[in-house]
């Protein structure tokens, strides 16, 4: 008898109170984080414990995650690298280099638009868009 783990509830719970941005910026992840930190006055740091591992074609691919917990709020920011050695965390968004997840607190549309405009002002950023849950086919790949 083979038991299948139903991850739908887990995934749905993970994405409650979240916003997700897709970013096209062909930059190294550490360079992009440095620019974000400098411009926005935040402190993205790599969190190796959250790193996501996907197994495809008998190989393991690792996707780094940078984390920034916003002081005196419950809001946490996570920046995922969407590409590793030709594989994608979200293959349906191959054109995106980074995914920015805002989680665990309400984010107003105004605050999100302000963030989008700020990210767009960074040198090398070509596109920033909000990804709605319906558009994401492999959202379980983002769950850590």
Q: What is the pLDDT of residues 30-69, one digit of tens each?
A: 999 999 999 999 999 999 999 888 888 888 888 999 999 9
Total domains in the chain come to: 1
Domain membership of residue 1 (yes or no) is no
In the chain, helix, strand, coil percent, each to 5?
Answer: 30, 30, 40
Instruction: Output the domain CATH number for residue 52.
Output: 3.30.310
- Tell me, yes or no, whether 46 lies in a domain: yes
Residue 10 lies in a domain: no
For residue 94, the model assigns a pLDDT of 93
pLDDT value at position 4? 57
pLDDT tens column, 117-127: 999 999 999 99
Where residue 108 falls among pLDDT bands split at 50, 70, 90?
very high
What's the confidence (pLDDT) of residue 5?
56
CA neighbours within 13 Å on the CB side: how many for 93?
29
Instruction: Write down the mean pLDDT value for the chain.
Output: 88
Quick check: is 9 in a domain? Answer: no
Residue 135 lies in a domain: yes
Q: Residue 99: inside a domain, yes or no?
A: yes
Asked if the structure places residue 8 within a domain, the reply is no
Is the pLDDT confidence value at 10 over 70?
Answer: no
Question: Would you list the DSSP string of 95-138?
Answer: T-SEEEEEESS---HHHHHHHHHHHHTSTT--EEEEPPGGG-S-
Query: In the structure encoding, which two tokens stand for residue 42, read together?
Result: 């935040």
Q: What's this model's pTM, rounded to 2 decimal places?
A: 0.86
Contacts for 38 with CB less than 8 Å, ≥ 6 apart: none
* Residue 2 falls inside a structural domain: no
Specify the higher pLDDT residue, 6 or 120.
120
- Residue 72's domain comprises 16-142
Helix 109-120 to helix 29-40 angle (10° resolution) is 120
Q: Identify the band that residue 18 occupies on the pLDDT scale cut at 50, 70 and 90.
A: confident
């Amino acid at each position: 008898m083979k038991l299948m783990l139903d991850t739908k509830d887990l995934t749905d719970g993970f994405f409650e109170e979240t916003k997700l941005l897709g970013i096209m910026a062909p930059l190294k992840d550490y360079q992009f984080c440095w620019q974000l930190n400098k411009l926005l006055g935040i402190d993205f740091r790599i969190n190796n414990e959250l790193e996501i591992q996907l197994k495809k074609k008998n190989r393991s691919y690792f996707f780094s995650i940078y984390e920034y917990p916003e002081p005196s709020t419950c809001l946490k920011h996570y920046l995922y690298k969407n590409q590793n050695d030709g594989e994608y965390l979200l293959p349906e968004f191959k054109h995106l280099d980074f995914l920015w997840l805002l989680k665990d607190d309400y984010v107003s549309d105004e605050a999100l638009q302000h963030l989008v405009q700020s990210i767009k002002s960074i040198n090398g950023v070509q596109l920033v868009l909000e990804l709605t849950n319906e558009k994401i086919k492999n959202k379980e790949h983002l769950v850590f």
